[in-house]
Amino acid sequence: MKKMVRKNYLLPAEITSKLRGMVKSGRYATESEVIRKSLLHLIGRETGRAEEISRQLDELAEETAKYLPKKKTAGQLVHQVHVEESHAL
């Protein structure tokens, strides 16, 4: 696996002190390990959230498509709205 090093990034004092504490607790070997695992956890959560939203949108699309007219494209539907709304004014 290709590794990229990011050095000299600044962290607030409260975070660095927490990092030190977590290493001292013995659960992590280094501060870098804490940061790496935290980032992987965050990325995993964000990926999960994205998958969940995609799944929800797919379900909603399946339900919505039952109502939308098949003979009109999305563009034609919206255009019809523009015309009808203009006439309604």
Partner 1 sequence: MRYYFDASALVKRFKPERGQKTVKTVIHDASLGAHEIHSIYWAKAEFYVAMRRSNVPQKLAARNLRTLAEIVAFDPLTAHIVENALGLVYEFNLHAADAIHLAACTNLACEAMLTDDEHLVGGDVKEYLERHAVKLINLEENP
Residues within the interface to partner 1 (CB under 8 A): 46-47, 49-50, 53-54, 56-57, 60-61, 63-65, 67-69, 73-86
Do 23 and 29 meet the contact criterion of CB atoms below 8 Å apart?
Answer: yes
Min dist CB 50 to partner 1, Å, is 4
Nearer to partner 1, 39 or 50 (CB): 50
Nearer to partner 1, 14 or 85 (CB): 85
User: How far apart, in whole angstroms, are the C-alpha atoms of residue 89 and residue 85?
Assistant: 7
| List of residues 6+ apart from 72 with CB closer than 8 A | 80
